Amino acid sequence: MAASNATKSAGTVADVNPNTIIYRPITWKDVDAVVELFDRTWPQDGALAGTRFSLLISRYFVLHYLQPTTFANAAFAADGTLAGITLIRVAGERPQFDELGVAGDLAVTERMIRANPEASKRLDMLKNAFALELDLEREGKANETTLGELELFVVNPDVRGCGVGGGLWDRMQRYLAAWDVDAFYLHTDSDCDVSFYDHKGLERIAQRLAGTPVVDGKEPLFGDMFIYRGRVKA
């Protein structure tokens, strides 16, 4: 699929007023803005810093999370800038976006990443991390004890402290409650502010600390990795 910007890039938001924030489901035309926000929040470092390959790896991340998502909800500033997003999955429900279309875009993105040796190495490490996440899900019985997953949660740094994160979080809770989901889980790592989830009363049910031995060639892209589980409070 070809994607085009329907929202402004995730740059500086001018004169943020919490009362003017608009919440709505994203469309495919918003995906580029989501990728830009992801890359701004978690850019690749070293040789890939500031390159198009950092943006391509961010795109791979976003598409990976988007593929199973059943509700992609976003917040937009009055000028159209993306202020934040949650990607949510409810077990057994139909994905919001066409899975084959997302899979096709993932394949195209991977081919472009593989053109650069360092980017290709990072992608291998990312896939290793995704495999370890599945191991952690089994360890923590995440899918046996919940029906929902928060696939991705990002807030534009320019609007932090303006209530956008809380607004997205509350809307996620209401969406899960509407589908009779009483508990959900999420993956996070040491690159994220896990204190937010502690503050929200979530329980850490599995973890893998950086430096845990792995088979040669299977090093993950992430450092410390965690799964948190929370109750739905709508």
Ordered DSSP codes for the chain: -----SSB-S-PPPS--GGG-EEEE--GGGHHHHHHHHHHHS---GGGTTSHHHHHHHHHHHHHHHTT-SEEEEEE-TTSBEEEEEEEEETTSPPSS-HHHHHHHHHHHHHHHTTSHHHHHHHHHHHHHHHHHHHHHHHTTHHHH-SEEEEEEEE-GGGTTTTHHHHHHHHHHHHHHHTT--EEEEEEETTS-THHHHHTT-EEEEEE-TT----TT---S-SSEEEEEEE---
Residue 89 located in a structural domain: yes
Q: Are 37 and 156 in contact (CB under 8 A)?
A: yes
Residue ranges, the chain, pLDDT below 50: 1-9
Residue 207 located in a structural domain: yes
Residue 209 located in a structural domain: yes
User: What local confidence, expressed as pLDDT, does residue 11 receive?
Assistant: 54
User: What local confidence, expressed as pLDDT, does residue 3 receive?
Assistant: 27
Which residues 6+ apart lie within 8 Å of 131 measured at CB? 218
User: What local confidence, expressed as pLDDT, does residue 190 receive?
Assistant: 85
Residue 77 located in a structural domain: yes
In whole numbers, what is the pLDDT of the chain averaged over residues? 91
Residue 2 located in a structural domain: no
Predicted structure pTM score = 0.90
CATH number, domain of 24, equals 3.40.630.30
| Integer angstrom CA distances of residue 10 from 3, 102, 209 | 16, 22, 31
Residue 118 located in a structural domain: yes
Residue 205 located in a structural domain: yes
CA atoms of 152 and 65, how far apart (whole Å): 7
Split into its structural domains, the chain has a count of 1
User: What local confidence, expressed as pLDDT, does residue 212 receive?
Assistant: 87
Full domain range(s) for residue 126:
18-231
User: What local confidence, expressed as pLDDT, does residue 234 receive?
Assistant: 73
CA atoms of 228 and 200, how far apart (whole Å): 11
Residue 10 located in a structural domain: no
